[in-house]
Amino acid sequence: MPELPEVQTTVNGLNKVLKGKKITAIWSAYNSPHYKGKENIKDKKYFLRFRKNTLNSPVLGTDRVGKNILIHLKNGVTVLIHMKMTGHLLYGKYEKRKEEWEASEKGPLQDPFNKHIRLVFELNNGKHVVLSDMRKFAKVMYIKTKDLERHSDLLSVAPDSFKLSQNEFVKRLRNKKSGKIKSILMDQALVSGIGNIYSDEILFETNIHPETDIDAVDNKKLEEIWRVSRKILERGINLGGDSMSDYRNIKGEKGKFQNKHKVYRKTGERCLKKNCPGKIKRKVIGGRSAHFCNRHQKLIKTKKRK
């Protein structure tokens, strides 16, 4: 699933191409009876309203709240896109052949991971922004820009590591009285933007076993997690995100963070930490695979916090 660096990479890309452009037509393959009456373009009636509210108004800019992409239009409407498990936005020239949309030119947009096109925004420059979403979990809706802060989809999203000061970060995690540190770092209502890959890398770097209970992690260690999370997320952004799985940038190209993993999906390999003789193990924690070094990432069991 795209995490903060991937979503930010997409937002940065969209800001380069979308400003001032208008959406002139929208096509959607999403349609599911499970969404009847919901604020989601998977409901057919909602999709018609979505289209009416978003066509022919210039894009002011794009930004991000947690893992949500927000495209602000001049008419006071914001398009919210959450890419969920397998979604990513692409930009280029597309053509419809029978019922399938295809990139017109050869290149990265024709990568197999970019071919599951469920939603197409046609722009007034003849190009398209499309959503490739193999498993169809993405969420797309519109919200009045002035209501964004109060909207339930965004109210439940906590600030990310960049928006939180060190003290705020520690306080938020400290409020949690129990729970495994990995699950807590991935809880979007506590701190947003961190998912499975980056939580593994952050815990590796800070020498914490992913199953350590939050109560056994002292404030000093939480401060370190805050610092390291910023550093690692920043590195992810600078490398254009992580493409070990489906994620691609808006040109359809892979990011490079997957080449820098020290622990994520390194099961069985030797630990890369200096002078550590450990090996990387994998264990399912809170329904997600955690990867960690069996030597330097200590599971602290006793209550150490004063």
Q: Which stretches of the chain bind Zn ion, using CB under 5 A?
A: 271, 273, 276, 278, 293, 295-296
d(CA 267, CA 270): 9
Shortest separation between residue 200's beta carbon and Zn ion, angstroms: 13
Residue number, 129 or 293, with CB nearest to Zn ion = 293
Shortest separation between residue 271's beta carbon and Zn ion, angstroms: 3
Shortest separation between residue 228's beta carbon and Zn ion, angstroms: 15
CB–CB of 293/201 below 8 Å?
A: no
Query: b/e string for 148-186 if b means 16 or more Cβ within 10 A?
Result: beebebbeebbbbbeebeeeebbebbeeeeeebbbbbbb
Instruction: State the angle between helix axes of 4-17 and 219-238 in degrees (0 to 180), rounded to the nearest 10.
Output: 40
Residue number, 80 or 271, with CB nearest to Zn ion = 271
d(CA 59, CA 75): 9
Residue number, 239 or 276, with CB nearest to Zn ion = 276
CB–CB of 176/184 below 8 Å?
A: yes
Residue 213 amino acid letter? D
Instruction: State the angle between helix axes of 166-174 and 219-238 in degrees (0 to 180), rounded to the nearest 10.
Output: 120
Residue number, 169 or 204, with CB nearest to Zn ion = 204
d(CA 184, CA 134): 28
Residue number, 159 or 278, with CB nearest to Zn ion = 278
Shortest separation between residue 221's beta carbon and Zn ion, angstroms: 17
Shortest separation between residue 219's beta carbon and Zn ion, angstroms: 24
